[in-house]
Structure formats: C-alpha cells, structure tokens
Amino acid sequence: MPFAAGGGTDTVSRLVCDQLARTFGQQFVVENKGGAGGNIGTAELARAAPDGYTLGLLSVASHTLNPMLYSKLPYDPDKDLIGISLLATLYNLLGVTLSLPVGNVAELITLCKKEPGRYSYASSGPGTSLHLSGELFKIMAGVDILHVPYKGAGPAYNDLMAGTVQMMFANITSMLPQVRGGKLKGLGVTSAVRSKAAPEIPTIAETLPGYVATSYYGLGAPARTPEPIVAKLESAVTEALKQPEIQRRWADELGLDMPQPGRAAFTKFVAEDRARWAPAVKAANVKLD
C-alpha cells in the first residue's frame, strides 16, 4: 500500500484484503510503504517477484497523475505492472469556510471574479488530485485563485476551518463529515452525476458543464505474473466487490462508487482518466522530481 496508514487508500486496502483472505483461506498482510506521492511503494511492487504473493494498490497517483508530473518515474505503469481490477472510484468535494458569503458554485465564481487573486484554495500537496481539481476549476470557471499547498490534509483542514484559506477540494470521504458536522459548507462534488453518498450536494458540472475530476483505487501485480494467477485474482476481486458488506461500506460509510471490475475495465478507465486530467496538469505547469 504505497501511502501512509489511516487514509482512504488504507481503509480500502484492508477491507479488500479481508475479503480476499476469506476467499483464499490465507492471511493477507497490508504493508504501508508511503512516500514520493506513492512512487516508492509502487516501484517496490513493480520490482517484486511475479508470483501472485505480492499485490499492490494502484491509484490516480500511480497510473494517471505521476506519469504526467514526474520527468522520470522509478517504474513504468503500463509495462511494469498489471492492473487486475478497479476497486473503487471516488470524487472530490469542494468545501468552503463558513464565513465565505456564498451558498453555491455559481456564487463562488461570481465572488472570485469580482476580486481576482484575493481568495485561495488549500491542497494536501502539489500534483495531487486535490491540487489539480482546483486548477481544472480555475481553467473552466475563468477565475484567479491562489493555490496553497500543505504537507497533508490535516493542517489544510485546520487552516480552512479557521478561514486562513477559503476553499479546498478534498476526497469526499474526508470532506463530507466536516460538511455534515457544520464545520464547512459543501458546494459541489467533482463527479459527473451526484454522489449516492450525498445526493443533496450538486455537482460542479451542473454549473460548469463538463467538469469532472476522478480518483480511483485498483489492485495490481508485477508484470510477468502468470496468466492463471492473474485470472484467479481477477475473479476473486470481482466476487469480493459483490459482497453486501463491501457494497454497504463503499456506499454508506466511505462515499465510494462501485466500478466495473476486471482487467479490461481497468485499462479502459485509466486511458479515459488520463485524457480527463491532461488539460489540468498542463495548465498547472507542475513538474515534480
């Protein structure tokens, strides 16, 4: 798991591994290897023995954003790894501080256009989907807002609630409790359709047609893993995602959407996701090394 313990990626990894352990009658150990935007753990997965015993979490970082942001990666996402299946898709939620005098996305755009450069948005770091959701918003809304990167979502939330920064795009899993707890105002989700977890919150696309910013989690293995092993894992993940417990946790607790499982769906989804994110990455002009 190429990210630190405690986040959404970690939760999904552990829930899926629990289901796979039941299927195979074997213990699955989740080992967190965070750092460098997921590159350290993903590179270790790529170097692992292709025997089916080392699997890894793939994400929008490993397969969509980092290949665009880093001039040199320690792995090739298309040659060194096999995408076995998507596990979940999720979206970001645009939240604003309670003191900001807006109640929807249209009012926010109007306010930002009235006073260009005055308002800022936080992210958990440059090059993240949270940062680039903001860049895509700037392009499509035609607004001038300042990006303020933090070293993690925790300190960013602290400053957002204090009003030091005025807005933030965050994974709906972490932002929704803050909105429902009355600590922030939730203006819009970055999905194409309203989230099943929060159908009362409009999509940003209802104001800015075509605005979509997607994140995802998938299961991967090292390239050259034998086809019978990959097929067996693909089948096991497909069955795991059908389990009522997983479907309930995804929809009701984590705000995740259930994707179409399998290798073919993973490959198609990643190609489409790269095309969606490319304009925001180019406009942000971010290079990480």
Task: Report the mean per-residue pLDDT for the chain.
Answer: 92
* Residue that has been written with the tokens 């290798």 in this structure: 263
Whether residue 253 is found in the same domain as residue 200: no
User: What is residue 124's predicted lDDT score, i.e. its pLDDT?
Assistant: 80
Q: Of 10-24, 61-75, 102-116, which one has max mean pLDDT?
A: 102-116
Whether residue 141 is found in the same domain as residue 186: yes
CA 35, CA 193: separation in Å to the nearest integer? 32
Whether residue 78 is found in the same domain as residue 12: yes
Query: Which CATH number fits the domain that encloses residue 258?
Result: 3.40.190.150
Tokens of 269: 């989804």
**Per the domain annotation, does 1 fall within a domain?**
no
Last residue of a domain, one of 161, 188, 206: 206
- Looking at the structure of the chain, the number of domains it has is 2
Tokens of 125: 């770091």
Give one DSSP letter per residue of 243-265, joined into a string. Answer: SHHHHHIIIIIS-PBPPPPSHHH
User: What is residue 49's predicted lDDT score, i.e. its pLDDT?
Assistant: 97
Last residue of a domain, one of 182, 206, 230: 206
Whether residue 132 is found in the same domain as residue 165: yes
**Per the domain annotation, does 2 fall within a domain?**
no
CA 273, CA 289: separation in Å to the nearest integer? 22
CA 90, CA 217: separation in Å to the nearest integer? 8
**Per the domain annotation, does 40 fall within a domain?**
yes
The CA radius of gyration of the chain, in Å to the nearest whole number, is 19
52 C-beta neighbours (distance < 10 Å), count: 15
**Per the domain annotation, does 138 fall within a domain?**
yes
Whether residue 145 is found in the same domain as residue 201: yes
Tokens of 243: 């389990």
pLDDT in tens, 107-138: 999 999 999 999 999 988 788 888 889 999 99
18 C-beta neighbours (distance < 10 Å), count: 14
pLDDT band at residue 183 under the 50/70/90 scheme: very high
Whether residue 106 is found in the same domain as residue 178: yes
CA 60, CA 174: separation in Å to the nearest integer? 17
CA 228, CA 39: separation in Å to the nearest integer? 28
Whether residue 86 is found in the same domain as residue 108: no
Whether residue 58 is found in the same domain as residue 201: no
Of 108, 208, 216, residue with least CA distance to 168 = 108
**Is residue 42 within a helix (H) or strand (E), and if so which, with residue range?**
helix 39-47
Query: Which CATH number fits the domain that encloses residue 117?
Result: 3.40.190.10
21 C-beta neighbours (distance < 10 Å), count: 13
**Burial tier of 135 (Cβ tally within 10 Å: 0-12, 13-18, 19+):** buried
Whether residue 181 is found in the same domain as residue 265: no
CA 199, CA 235: separation in Å to the nearest integer? 32
Express as a percent the part of the chain with pLDDT over 90: 69
**Per the domain annotation, does 39 fall within a domain?**
yes
Last residue of a domain, one of 155, 176, 206: 206
CA 277, CA 261: separation in Å to the nearest integer? 22
Cα torsion through 256, 260, 264, 269, rounded to 10: -40
Segments forming the whole domain that contains residue 117:
91-206
Between helix 263-284 and helix 129-141 the angle, nearest 10°, is 60
pLDDT in tens, 208-241: 999 988 889 999 999 999 999 999 999 999 999 9
Chain centroid to Cα 38, Å, comes to 12
User: What is residue 71's predicted lDDT score, i.e. its pLDDT?
Assistant: 86
User: What is residue 117's predicted lDDT score, i.e. its pLDDT?
Assistant: 95
**Per the domain annotation, does 121 fall within a domain?**
yes
Whether residue 51 is found in the same domain as residue 158: no
Cβ–Cβ < 8 Å for 156, 167: no
